[in-house]
Amino acid sequence: MTPESQKVAFRSENVLLSALGSEASPGRRVRLAAGQGLDLAGDIIWFPLTAVVRMEVGDPLVLGGWIGDEGAVGLAEGLEGDHSNRRALVEVGGEACAVSRASVTELLSQSSSFTDAVVRWLAESLAEARQAAAFNACGNARDRVTNLIETLDRLHGHGLDFPMSQAEMARLTGIQRTTVCGIVVGLKREKRITHTRARFRVLQRL
């Protein structure tokens, strides 16, 4: 691992790290692979550059949201001191800046612009989480499934195949698998999607 005193000089594509201005990013650039799990209780906080991470929360785990270049993975959990019933999984492979918790703590105490950016992002994330929870509680099953499919289509690139099984879709949305299966069959019949062997492709707006 890169020593704390050694900083990697690259132009940050992460909104939070960009708040540091012209300073070198206090971490190392790493490649995150799709499907890779990230340890929320570990010493590293990940600031996605081109990667997108899926956050899962609750018991059982359901979709909690997504973190891309606007935020950081492990930051909220570190500040709250609670890693239980949470999981981070790389949805779209790409690069991230890996920064030790000690360095992030130091930045929060030394950089007001970084602290302000973090506070804004945490507030926005909380608001989005509440909206998502309300949608999952009140939205009908088809709306919840199509919303997930459309989001994945946007994240992976419109019109491109993306991996997702019906079982995983049922778990993330909290909907019975048989219900998800019926919705997927209906969308295929309407020629809005294709679905084969745990891979989806959106053909037209859902």
The predicted-structure confidence for 49-99, as pLDDT tens digits, reads as follows 999 999 998 888 899 999 999 999 999 887 766 667 899 999 999 999 999
Residue 89 has a pLDDT of 97
CATH class of residue range 139-202 = mainly alpha
The predicted-structure confidence for 142-151, as pLDDT tens digits, reads as follows 999 999 999 9
Q: pTM of the predicted model, to two decimals?
A: 0.87
Tell me the domain boundaries of the chain. 15-129, 139-202
* DSSP conformational letter for 24: P
Confirm or reject CATH 3.40.50.300 for domain 15-129, answering yes or no: no
Residue 77 has a pLDDT of 82
What angle, 0 to 180 degrees and rounded to 10, lies between the N-to-C axes of helices 112-138 and 141-156? Answer: 140
Task: Please say whether the beta carbons of 88 and 73 come within 8 A.
Answer: yes
Residues of the chain with pLDDT under 70: 1-12, 22-25, 80-83
Residue 24 has a pLDDT of 62
